[in-house]
Structures are given as structure tokens and as C-alpha cells.
């Protein structure tokens, strides 16, 4: 005969306290992981979006050879070069014509390969030759020109290099700077302007005590060659440090 219920037997809960505690802890852990993923993801997303750029305008003091130069961090192209001290070279990128470093407001100009005229690129290193490109024009490059000359933009003369010169397909543009000195720039001209890159043309100059500056730019900027030469020289002269002080007002962008 079945036992009669007394009404006093213990009631077993559907969810025990122990299981409820485990569920609560699990939910808390998941919430913490979600928050952590959100924070890390946001930071990682910002880092990926910067793609090596920085908006930091803090001054970085760099010594190359005999020259001390002070540059805003956001003008230095590569992250590993944004460290103070002695180095062999430093690479810069600057907006043209403003001569500013990277900023979030101008990020499109730094990331859009279809607008190569928006930026100029500079490489600073210790001089290895006694003459810059202009100084090498008469003793070296003039012997490599073929007999053709053509008018170039803004008063420049285009002089192709001989096919057997080792510079086949390249041309020189030459002119005279306002102070009467020679100007020379070497270019690989695109077949079509739409194919222009930020490295169509390159020129090297000497500044400071022993600093060589190689700068590269789009062939679309050739009409502005005089302004570019002046702005680059002024910018770097203002960045040189003499006896612990900038040679002139240090730029902050």
C-alpha cells in the first residue's frame, strides 16, 4: 500500500543555491570578458586605423652625424624612428604645401594613393658625398644627357638621359634658383598623369653641418619646384638645433 503523504516532507528546489551561484559567477565572467573585448577591440581598432601614424606633436631630438635636429613626432613616418638620440637616418612625411605632420583631420591625405601631390617625403641621413644633386650636375650628370632638350614646367628644362647611361627612361629637369645656383631633379615621368606616384621625382640637398636630405614628390608638383625647394630648406633650417637651441622657431605640427 502506497505511503500516505504527511505534508511535512522537504521540498527540493528546481535550482539549487549552488547552481544559482555558479550561474551568477558565469554571467559576471561573461560580462567582464565582453567589456574587456570591447575595450581592447576599440584600442586595436584605433591602432589599425592609425596604421603607424601618430597625432603626437611632441618634439623628438635626433642626432645624425654632426647635426642635431628637433622634429614633431607626427612628422616622422615610422614608429621605430620616433625615439630621441643618435640614429643613421630618419624618414619624414609632410603635407604640401602646409608642411604639417599627420593629424586625424588630414588622414585622407596620408592614406589616399590617388592624391600623391598632397604629400612630400624626406629622408635625412649623414652626407656620403661632398656634393648634392645640383653640385653633381655639371661634373657628372651633364655627360649623361642625350642631345635633346625640351621645355619643362615653370622655367625648367627637361633633359633626357641616354639609354646606355644606366638611367634609361629617366629625365632630369634643370633650372636656376633665385640665388643664381643650379637646380636639378631626377624624375621617372609617368606615361599618364593619372599614374603619378609620390616618388616620381627625387632631389637631394645638403643642410646643416653634414646632413643630406633626399626629398621625393609627385611629378604633378614640378610647377611648384621653386616654392618646394624654399619651403623644405626653411622647414629644416628651423628644425636644426645649435648649442641646445633651435636655429630659429621650432615648428609644432
Distance CA 108, CA 118 (A): 10
pLDDT digits (tens, 9 = 90+) for 47-92: 444 569 999 999 999 999 999 999 999 999 999 999 999 999 999 9
Q: Above pLDDT 90, what percent of the chain?
A: 68
For residue 147, the model assigns a pLDDT of 85
Q: Above pLDDT 70, what percent of the chain?
A: 78
Closest residue by Cα to residue 124 from 192, 62, 199: 62
DSSP string for 183-225: EEEEE---SSGGG--TTSEEEEEEETTTEEEEEEE-GGGGGGH
β-pair type (59-64, 85-86): parallel
Residue 143 banded pLDDT, cuts 50, 70, 90: very high
SS3 150: strand
Cα-based distances in Å from 3 to 6, 10, 11, 120:
9, 15, 17, 95
SS (H, E, C) 41-54: HHHHHHHHHHCCCC
Closest residue by Cα to residue 215 from 227, 232, 197: 232
For residue 247, the model assigns a pLDDT of 66
Residue with cell 583631420: 105
Amino acid at each position: 500500500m502506497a505511503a500516505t503523504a504527511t505534508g511535512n516532507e522537504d521540498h527540493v528546489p528546481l535550482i539549487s543555491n549552488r547552481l544559482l551561484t555558479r550561474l551568477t559567477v558565469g554571467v559576471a565572467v561573461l560580462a567582464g570578458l565582453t567589456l574587456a573585448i570591447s575595450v581592447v577591440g576599440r584600442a586595436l581598432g584605433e591602432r589599425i586605423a592609425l596604421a603607424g601614424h601618430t597625432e603626437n606633436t611632441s618634439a623628438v631630438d635626433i642626432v645624425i652625424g654632426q647635426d642635431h635636429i628637433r622634429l614633431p613626432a607626427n612628422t616622422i613616418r615610422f614608429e621605430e624612428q620616433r625615439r630621441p638620440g643618435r640614429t643613421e637616418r630618419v624618414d619624414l612625411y609632410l603635407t604640401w604645401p602646409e608642411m604639417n605632420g599627420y593629424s586625424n583631420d588630414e588622414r585622407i591625405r596620408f592614406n589616399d594613393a590617388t592624391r600623391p601631390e598632397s604629400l612630400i617625403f624626406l629622408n635625412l641621413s649623414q652626407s656620403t658625398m661632398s656634393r648634392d644633386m645640383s653640385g653633381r650636375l655639371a661634373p657628372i650628370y651633364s655627360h649623361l644627357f642625350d642631345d635633346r632638350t625640351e621645355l619643362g614646367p615653370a622655367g625648367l628644362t627637361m633633359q633626357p638621359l641616354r639609354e646606355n647611361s644606366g638611367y634609361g627612361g629617366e629625365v632630369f629637369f634643370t633650372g636656376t634658383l633665385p640665388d643664381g645656383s643650379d637646380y636639378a631633379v631626377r624624375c621617372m615621368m609617368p606615361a599618364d598623369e593619372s599614374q603619378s606616384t609620390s616618388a616620381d621625382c627625387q632631389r637631394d640637398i645638403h643642410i646643416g653641418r653634414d646632413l643630406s636630405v633626399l626629398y621625393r614628390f609627385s611629378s604633378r608638383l614640378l610647377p611648384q619646384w621653386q616654392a618646394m625647394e624654399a619651403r623644405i630648406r626653411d622647414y629644416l633650417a628651423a628644425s636644426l638645433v645649435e648649442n641646445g637651441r633651435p636655429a630659429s622657431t621650432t615648428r609644432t605640427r
